[in-house]
Each structure stands twice: as structure tokens, then as C-alpha cells.
Amino acid sequence: MAETGLVWKTIKVPGREIVIPAGTHKGKLIVLCADHRGVELKNFLNEYLHRSGYKPLPVDAGAFGNDSCDYPFYAGKAVDKIREYERHNGIYTAVGIGVCGSGQGMAMAANRLGMYSVVFDNIQGTTEKIIQRIALTRQHNNSDFLAISADAVKNPSLAAKVAEAWLAAEHFGEGVNPKYSARWNMLREMNVMNGVGR
């Protein structure tokens, strides 16, 4: 919480209140996706984000049933929807949330498609520490795809609060901290060199 210029807010989680970053990501399109192992948690998150008033309304890229399916396909559908939205609304105006068994598959697929992914797989620590660590991936690394492990994260409410904190956090980029801006530009250049940059 020592980062200069960061604004924090208090939210309620089961049994207590915690402090998370306060930001403005309610203006970004959120695209959700899952494989068969993540459908139930993805549906919960979709409903939670709709009820929370995110605008534009989140988009569900599937899967929609429990039949066995492939996470790369649905990660690809989500990234396609992100790119389509960005073509009309500007670069970095959309983010993704993907759920699969480990979370790693969704993250790997999204990274291959030029996203900057972080995995939430029930990091050890207090709820507050977990939420703050995930938020740091936006603040320091400008992550734009949150991959969640449905096998490890058994508390849907915690997953929702982690997603909310991740969406709220702002990147310490241009005009805030030059070292984070420089590192972000290095990541972008790597993606461009690999033909997946934006």
C-alpha cells in the first residue's frame, strides 16, 4: 500500500472488510470465457459483474455447457471479441477473464494470442494479501487477462472480489512511474516481434 499516488477503497468480503485498489475499469469491456471445468465459476462471475453495474455489460464467449471442450478454443473466442471491440473503441479498451481447471491453460492460450495474463490459483495468504497481489499484476505489469483456476478456487465470492480488485487497479504507466512504463513497453515490443502485438 506504499505505492505513491494509489487510491484504495474498503470492500466487504465474507466475515470482514478489506482494502483494495480503487480505479476506473468499469469503462472497459469485460469478456469472459471458460472450458467445461470452469463454466460454473464463469457463470457466477458473469452474473456478479452484471449485478455490479459494469458498463458496457460483460460479454460471455462460452463455453455454455458441461460437455468436455478445449480451453484454447474459448480463449481464442474471447480474444477475438476483445480485438473486435478494440477495433471500434481503441486499443486496451477491453480485458478478459478466463476460467479452466488449473487456470494455466487459459493463461497460456491468451498469452499466445498477445494478451498479458495473470493466473489466480488460490495463492497462499490472507484474503487481503491475495487480492493485493493480483491487483499488483495490473499496477506493475498491466495484465489484461485474468485466468482463474476452478479447481483451486473453491470460493466463488472470493473469485469475484479478486476479479473486482483486478479490474479496479490501474497501471503505473506513463506519467506515474517510469520503470513500470519501460517494462510494459518491453513486453509490448516482444509481442510485436512475435506477430501478436497491439
Span 90-101, pLDDT tens digits: 888 899 999 999
Helices (H), 7-70: 39-51
Q: Which helix (H) or strand (E) holds 60?
A: strand 59-60
Q: How many CA atoms lie within 13 A of 167 on its CB side?
A: 26
Going from the N-terminus, what domains does the chain have, and what CATH number goes with each?
A: 25-188 (3.40.1400.10)
pLDDT at 103 over 70: yes
pLDDT at 142 over 50: yes
pLDDT of res. 2: 36
| Residue 64 C-alpha from the chain's centroid | 20
**3-state SS string for 107-159:** HHHHHHCCCCEEEECCCCCCHHHHHHHHHHHHHCCCCCEEEEECCCCCCHHHH
C-alpha separations of 186 from 25, 84, 170, 180 in Å: 23, 25, 18, 10
Q: What is the CA radius of gyration of the chain?
A: 16
- Going by pLDDT thresholds of 50, 70 and 90, the confidence category of residue 198 is low
pLDDT at 18 over 60: no
User: Across the chain, what does the average pLDDT equal?
Assistant: 86
Block residue for cell numbers 449485478: 51
pLDDT at 5 over 50: no
pLDDT of res. 23: 54
Tens digit of each residue's pLDDT (9 = 90 or more) over 50-79: 998 888 999 999 999 999 999 999 999 999
Pairing assessment for the beta strands 16-21 and 8-13 based on DSSP bridges: antiparallel
pLDDT at 84 over 60: yes
Better-scored residue on pLDDT, 187 or 198: 187
pLDDT of res. 119: 93
- Going by pLDDT thresholds of 50, 70 and 90, the confidence category of residue 196 is confident
Burial class (CB in 10 A: 0-12, 13-18, 19+), 72: middle
pLDDT of res. 55: 86
Does 14 sit behind a cis peptide bond, omega within 30 degrees of 0 on the bond before it?
Answer: no
Tens digit of each residue's pLDDT (9 = 90 or more) over 127-137: 888 888 898 89
Closest CA to 61 of 42, 86, 89: 42
pLDDT at 123 over 80: no
